[in-house]
Amino acid sequence: MKRSITLVEVLLVLVLFLFGEAPWAVGGSSHCKQKSPVEVRPHSVTITEFGAVGDGVTLNTKAFHNAIFYLQSFADKGGAQLFVPAGRWLTGGFILISHLTLLLDKEAVILGSTDSDDWPIEDPLPSYGRGRELPGGRHRSLIYGENLTDVIITGHNGTIDGQGSVWWNRFKNGTLNYTRPHLVELMNSTEVVISNLTFLNSPFWTIHPVYCSQVIVQNVTILAPLDSPNTDGIDPDSSDDVCIEDCYISTGDDLISIKSGWDEYGISYARPSSNIVIHRLTGETGLGSGISIGSEMSGGVSEVHAESLRFFNSNNGIRIKTAPGRGGYVRNIYISDLTMTDVKIAIRFTGQYGEHPDEFYDPKALPVIDKISIKDVTGENIRLAGLLEGIEGDNFLNICLSNITLSVTKDPPWNCSYIQGYSNLVSPKICELLSEGIYPEHSSDCYHLPNHLRSSAGHNRAAWFMKR
């Protein structure tokens, strides 16, 4: 296994970014307009006031708990801020409160404990029915919050390091007792901002907003070794009004994975993911995809708008994963301005992903995949242009691909089954199931970006973002 990402490597990434030499430093106007993520709260304390020691050895879980407990009294008085100064602050999991800013100094590193006893056990998510990896509960994330509003996690490029290698080894050795923890998870929360930080070596998915609304993730770097298992970058899950912008992610699994519950539990919980904006995303993934939808999508996923994407050295570019038994839907997806280099499969739809929580799922619960538009795509050294596999008796409909030029090394470049749709200006020549010709005769069958969401300097993506 590759070693964990080190702070020295993070600093190198940041130096390259600041001096304009990084390939992902793409300019442009913000689509996640908001109040300043480092705005001054009327009440502020420093973690050292509660006995914390930043030596990388002393366990500071109690200090974080006590500081946040103290700040609770200011939640209705304009909110509060917990400042983490320079140092290496070892801690187990801790819980945030509403109207709180967690602010990290540029030289601050929050370190997750390598002792699993410092990561408490939580009940499984109701939309999953069990822990994602194992039946039963799951370890709570390092930074956690539930039923919160107005939460900001930010810094001056400070670092949150999950020290995940111990968890990855236990996963690979089959010695886990519970599903691994995320680095940050917020549940049933609104008005969440996560910005200007580096996240390293998450034990499992890195940033996981679940059952949330009005979420911004902006200007973050997420790093984990390319062979680290399931270290997704950002996973909006049964959440709406999510804006992800100006992020660099290099991990072992999906850079962004949009989810909404698993089989019968997701169908019953019925909380979709919708109105998700992704803008200026760059990165690589060892085993996953640049942007993935599913495979847990049983509550439905719709209105996903992703633009200005740069993926390299990755397994897949864009992927939709589902299976009989999932139910739900994936519809009204718009992806444009995508550049790929050294990617194995540029566009991949998988209708037989399998993997169910238990034997009680309904195999007749078929997903609906409809109106997926992907346009303005280029790629160099792509092994396979597309592996587009729907479900027999449940075709994926209105798949629209246009203005796509890929340099492909495998013949045939496209492999398609159980899909229906249209194409225009696609090279190499696409499979016959996506018949040539979109404009004008089939334009109404394709999903188009609504006028109020089209890229334009100074314009924002959604009403809430405009109010921030």
What amino acid is encoded at 7 in this protein? L
> Whole-angstrom Cα distance, residue 183 to residue 204?
7
Q: Which residue in this structure is represented by tokens 């301005």?
A: 337
SS3 119: coil
| 358 HSE (CA, 13 A, CB side) | 11
> Whole-angstrom Cα distance, residue 232 to residue 341?
20
Asked whether the beta carbons of 171 and 180 are under 8 A apart, the reply is: yes
From 150, 232, 253, 254, the catalytic residue: 253
SS3 376: strand
> Whole-angstrom Cα distance, residue 272 to residue 269?
9
* Closest-CA residue to 287 (of 254, 238, 331): 254
| Beta-strand runs (E) in 219-367 | 221-223, 240-251, 256-258, 273-285, 289-293, 301-321, 329-350
Any catalytic annotation for residue 253?
yes
Asked whether the beta carbons of 92 and 61 are under 8 A apart, the reply is: yes
SS3 467: helix
Q: DSSP letter for 70, please.
A: H
Asked whether the beta carbons of 192 and 212 are under 8 A apart, the reply is: yes
Count the neighbouring beta carbons within 10 Å of the beta carbon of residue 227.
13
> Whole-angstrom Cα distance, residue 114 to residue 123?
21
Asked whether the beta carbons of 397 and 371 are under 8 A apart, the reply is: yes
> Whole-angstrom Cα distance, residue 401 to residue 426?
7
> Whole-angstrom Cα distance, residue 276 to residue 55?
40
Per the omega criterion (within 30 degrees of 0), is the bond before 450 cis? no
Asked whether the beta carbons of 176 and 133 are under 8 A apart, the reply is: yes
Phi, psi of 256 (to 5 degrees): -130, 130
Judged on CB neighbours under 10 Å (0-12, 13-18, 19+), 210 is buried
Q: DSSP letter for 301, please.
A: E
Catalytic positions are: 253
